[in-house]
Each structure stands twice: as structure tokens, then as C-alpha cells.
Structure 1
Amino acid sequence: MPPMLLRVAAITLALALSQVAAAASPEPLQLPQAEALTYWKPVEGTFRPQLNVDPGRVPFAEEVTVAYSVNKRGRTYDVKVVEAKPSTAFSGWALNAVKAMRFTATDSNTERTPIRSEMTARWGSGK
């Protein structure tokens, strides 16, 4: 096969495969928390995130809003702090807790649709 024809075939194949790969990994649905729970429910359990700081010495944020995505396997990824109160306090505890969470697809989510949502966590207040 002539080199030019071989290059054209390789480029055509690469483009076709990239389109298939893009179709296989759709962007997660952007959902408010209440609607997100209709797709994925948190697996019950106690989460003990690693804390690299001592809450007795470092002020912890009392309320933290975290954005997260859930993939087809029920695992969180792309976890980020959206807001913390107070903003200067340590919010890593919430980030680590959401990273540790696992989810199970609901009966209505048979396709295991990936989602993106937010949740608000509170430190030690029992609220």
C-alpha cells in the first residue's frame, strides 16, 4: 500500500475511534441534590476520612458545599469545594468524606447514568 494511502487510512481510523470514545463517555447530567438522589443513592456506612490536621488546633469549616460527580460504577470523582463557612477554615474533611462515598444506582437508573451534583455537609453540629 502506498505511504500516502496508508496515512489517510490511519487518520480515518483514528478519527472514527475518537468519535466512538467520545460517545462512550458522556458528560454527567447536572442535577440538584434532590434529583440526583433519584439516580444514585449513597451506600450506607460510616465514612472516616483521613484528616491531616488536628481539629483541636485548626478551625474546621462548620458547613461545606461540595460539588461531585458519580461515574457508572457509583464512585465519586472531580470533587471540589464550592463554598465553606467560615471561608478561612479547613474544609478538607468534607472533601475527603465525599471522595470516600460510594453510590448505588436506583431502580430507575438502569443505564447507570453518570451525574454531577452538590451536597452540603456540616461538621459536628448534628444538624
Structure 2
Amino acid sequence: MSETTVLTTRETKRSFGLGRGALAVLLLGLPFLGRQRITITSERIVIESGFWTKVRDDVEVFRIRDVVSTRNLYQRLVGIGDIVVKSVEGRGPEEVQVLKGVPDPVGVSEAIRTVWNRSRPRGPATSVD
């Protein structure tokens, strides 16, 4: 089965808040260029961020253990939120990825959940290792 893209989104400009947004405009919008880009595929979540130094982090869908959506008061007013993705690599410690300032965080977390449900093994319980 080939990998297909389910959803692509990026951190919104509204996630900077009023004070940091005004400062960003004064700095010619440079912080807006380094926003996170999030791509959810049938096999992984790809998180790309950075302006000067590009960072790409892949989270395999079958390693995801929990997805949490959080929204503070400001985020609820402007329609964005953060998504915390917790994953496990073998027997190592739990890894946490934060997707910041995502528009429609509930919809994005549901897309992650749907992809995870399709990728999990069926039948008797199996170990990740």
C-alpha cells in the first residue's frame, strides 16, 4: 500500500498573539516564514519547522500512543489550538511532539486518530518491539 497524504496544514500567524504578532510585523514578517508545516499521511506525521535552520521530524503513525488537543482562551477566540502527539520508540522513553497554532485542532487530531486506527494491526495483541 502506498503512502497517501491525508492532510496538510501549517501553524497559523494567529498563534503568535497580538504582542508578538506586532513585533513580527516590525521585523518584516521574518518569524512567519519559519512556521511549522504539518503533513499527515497514511504512514506518518511530518513536522517541518525553522527559518534559518530547517528541522524535519517524522513520527510513524503506528508508534503513536496518545493525541491531546489543547486550547487556551486566546486560541479559542481565534479558532486555533495546539496538538500534543505522544509516541513510543521501542522500549525507550515516550517522545512528545507539539504541533503549535493549528487551525481546527479537533479536526486535525481526529485525522491523526483515523489514520492511526487504519494502520494498527488487527487480531491478537502484538508488541511494538
TM-score tier (shorter): under 0.3
Higher relative contact order (Cα pairs below 8 Å, separated by 6+ residues): 1
Higher share of residues assigned helix: 2
Structure showing greater radius of gyration is 1
What's the TM-score, normalizing by structure 1?
A: 0.27
Structure with the bigger percentage of strand: 2
| TM score, norm. by length of structure 2 | 0.27
